[in-house]
Structures are given as structure tokens and as C-alpha cells.
Structure 1
Amino acid sequence: MISTFSLGGKTIKKRYQSLKDHVYNHIAKEIQSGTLLPKHKINEVALSEKLEVSRTPVREALIQLASENLLEYFPRKGFIVKEFDTNKKLDVFQVVGVLDALAASLSISHITESDIELMEELVKKIDISISQKNYLDYQKYQNQFHKVYIDKCNNDTLIELLDSLQNSFVRQIYLSKDEEKLFAVLEQMNKHHKQIINYFKKRDKENLEQLIKNEHWKITYIDMI
């Protein structure tokens, strides 16, 4: 089943999730945001109570995550967030960059004026998040920004691959305890978002693809991934 909601005057479709998927996505977002760090033990009881679900979907989600090599299971200890090395993270970013650029390229002829307006609205919200040093809002709005054109690429396999990588437990944005440095970097990322919008307006497929693949997803600050 599909529900709809409105964002910036644009109707967005959203599929209902199973309880297991709900738990799975919650854990992924917690790790993406830095709330759950590598080697953190997952408290099944607390998670069940927080999400108001039974232990069964929690256990199903954790088993799936372990089977995907994203969590580790230790007898008598439980499920632990797996730690990825830097090379693994760089590999994921490289793949995301290529696929995201492809999605943008495929969507360029399908992007409407309302899509452009929505992306511009999200860029403004990102600017506010940066000014307020609100990392969680930055993360939320930048994900929504990319999703506008990814959902218009007319390639379900590509969309599913990018969704899967989004939950790969490798953060798709930088994170650092040095807030000044962090938000200066995120401000530069949002400048890329503005440039992406400009290329969509011009229907400039070549520069759009090059920007996303070779600049936007290029990892310059390895210590912050």
C-alpha cells in the first residue's frame, strides 16, 4: 500500500513499511546520524519499547542486518554494530557517486518545474540547518534533496540500489566533533546542491553528471567519514 503526503506543495508517495523494515530503517538512520557508533551493542528490549513493536520484528531486523554483514552477533552478548575500515567506506562513496550521477542523468528529461522548486526549498532548509548547526536536519533534508531526482530516473533497480547503499551503515555525509570544520564542509556540499539545481534548469546533462560523480561525492576529508 502507498500513502501520500505533501512537501512544498508537491505530493510525495510513500510505501507502507513492514514492522521489520521499520526497525531496520530506524537502526540504519541511527547509525547514519552517528547516534549508534561502531561496536555499540543493540539493546533489543529498549529498541522494542522505543518503537512500540514486539521483540519478533526487532529480532528479524537484527538477523537480516547481521546476514548482510552490517551487524555482528556474539553468543551471550548480542548484536553489535560492525566497524567498517576506511577503504570500505571509500568504496561505498565511489559507488554511490557513480549511481547517483547516473540517476541524475536519467532523470534530467523528467524533472518538472515543481521538482526544481522542491529542490530549491530543500536547499533553503539545508542552509537554515547549517546556520543553526543542526546536523540531523541537514542529513534529513540533503537525503530528500537527492531523492527528488533519484525517484524520477525511471529505473527501479537503480532506485533500489541507491536505497540499499543509503542503509549500508557507511554515512553518506561527513561527521566530526569539530563543528566549525564540519559545517564549513557541509556548506560547501550545499553549494554543490545549488549547482546541481542550476544544471537541471539548463538541462546540462554532461556537467550535471560530472559534478555529482567527480566533485559532490569525492571524499576530501577522509578523517570525517
Structure 2
Amino acid sequence: MIKNKYQSLKDHVYTYIAECIQNGTLLPNQKLSENSICEKLEVSRTPVREALIQLASENYLEYYPRRGFVVKELDTKKKLDVFQLIGTLDALAARLSVSYISEEDISKMEKFADEIDTSIKQQNYSDYQLYQNEFHNIYIHKCNNDTLIELLESLQNSFVRQTYLSNDKTKLYTVLEQMNIEHKQMIQLFKKKDEEGLENFLKNVHWKISYTDMI
């Protein structure tokens, strides 16, 4: 029982750090403060240290003696490779889900698209990230292929952000507005039950990286 509790704490820390890297709270070459993480999550140092060691072993953090753990910077080629995989698998999941998507699911996607619009207007990147993930997860979890779902979840935990990020807020939110226009186009394709059109749109339009300086 103690072991299970400890394991869940380590996983909790692991997920927290992963999400911070994904949403841009933690940036490449930024040092992680073990004390801050302990205080933020109200956990002891042991699960934090174990989570950091695991992240380093998976090549997402770098450990430097006397400096500690630092977010590893992935080169652009590596990021593009991951995006290409996610785009292909996400497009397949969308195609497979068409037969299982309900009107209620489509209504949820429309709701999330509206929430994304609000987040963009408020320049709230964290909420944008949250709602766009929820938008995609609706059809991913309806694809009726557990292996595909697991692969996508694994890639989503690869810490490559699932959308763009930039210090130029005007440029960033212009790009994010376009992304949400594409979300709404996807909804229309779901309503038409256009499997081929949906797969092609996600693979060749929605997941096409146009601004490599922002990934």
C-alpha cells in the first residue's frame, strides 16, 4: 500500500513537470527547483527526485553536477519529426472515430472551440492549451483503437508542445486564431461524416507546421 501511494506521488510530479514543459511554463535550458516543486505540490523530496531522474533518463531533462536538472532543448528536426508522427496518428484517429462520434460529442467540440475563442481574446495561453487538448481528445478516445490511443498519449507526453508558442503575443494569437478556425472546419467535416476529407485535412493542413520558429 505504501509503495502504491509513493508511486502515485511520483507519477503526479512527473505529470506536473511534463505539463509545465508542454505549455511553456518551463522553457528549454531552464533550471528546475526541487524545493519549489515540493512546495507547489506539497510532496516530499523523494518522489520529486525520482520523477526528475526518470525524466532525465527519458532524455527530456539534462542533469548537471552542482547545477541540477535543466529542461533539455530539442532541436527543430526532432520537434518536426514528433509533430509529423502526431499529425499522422491524430488524422487516423479522427477518421476511425467518425463512425462512433455522437451529436453530443460534436456539441462538446463546439463548446471547446468557443472556449478556445475566449482564451485567445483574453490572451490566456494556459486555457488555450487545455481546451485544445480536450477538443482533440474527444475524437481520439472515440477511435475504437486502444493501441492508437496509447501511442498518441505517449507522443503527447514527449514534451513537444502541441501548438505554437512565442514571445510575440500579437503573432502568437493570430496563429492560434487560425488554428481554431481549423478546429471549426474539422467539426463540419465530422458532421458530414467525411472520413477521407477529415484525415487529409488534419494531416496536410491542421498539423502542417508553418512557423518553425514558434514550436
Equivalent residues in 2 for 1:1-225, closer than 5 Å: 18-225=8-215
Greater per-residue helix proportion: 2
Q: Provide the secondary structure at the position in 2 that maps to 1:63.
A: helix
Structure 1: distance between partners of 2:51 and 2:150:
18
> Which residue identity lines up with residue 29 of structure 1 in the other structure?
E
Superposition deviation, residue 102 in structure 1: 0.9
Q: Provide the secondary structure at the position in 2 that maps to 1:18.
A: helix
Structure 1: distance between partners of 2:151 and 2:46:
27
Q: Which moved more, 1:140-149 or 1:160-169?
A: 160-169
Superposition deviation, residue 156 in structure 1: 1.7
Structure 1: distance between partners of 2:197 and 2:10:
40
TM-score of the two chains, using structure 2 as the length reference: 0.94
Q: Percent identity?
A: 69
Aligned to 1:6: none
Alpha carbon RMSD of aligned pairs, Å?
1.2
Moved segments of 4+, more than 6 Å:
none
Structure 1: distance between partners of 2:176 and 2:63:
34
Structure 1: distance between partners of 2:118 and 2:165:
18
Q: Which moved more, 1:27-36 or 1:198-207?
A: 27-36
Q: Provide the secondary structure at the position in 2 that maps to 1:80.
A: strand
The size of the alignment, in residue pairs, is 209
Superposition deviation, residue 181 in structure 1: 1.0
TM-score of the two chains, using structure 1 as the length reference: 0.90
Aligned to 2:3: none
Superposition deviation, residue 77 in structure 1: 2.1
Superposition deviation, residue 200 in structure 1: 0.8
User: C-alpha offsets along residues 203-223 of structure 1, whole Å, 9 cap, x if unaligned?
Assistant: 100010011111101000111
> Which residue identity lines up with residue 91 of structure 1 in the other structure?
D
User: C-alpha offsets along residues 165-219 of structure 1, whole Å, 9 cap, x if unaligned?
Assistant: 1121211110111111111110110011001111111110001001111110100
User: C-alpha offsets along residues 83-127 of structure 1, whole Å, 9 cap, x if unaligned?
Assistant: 011111111110110010011111111111110000000000001
Where do 5+ consecutive residues of structure 2 fail to align?
1-6
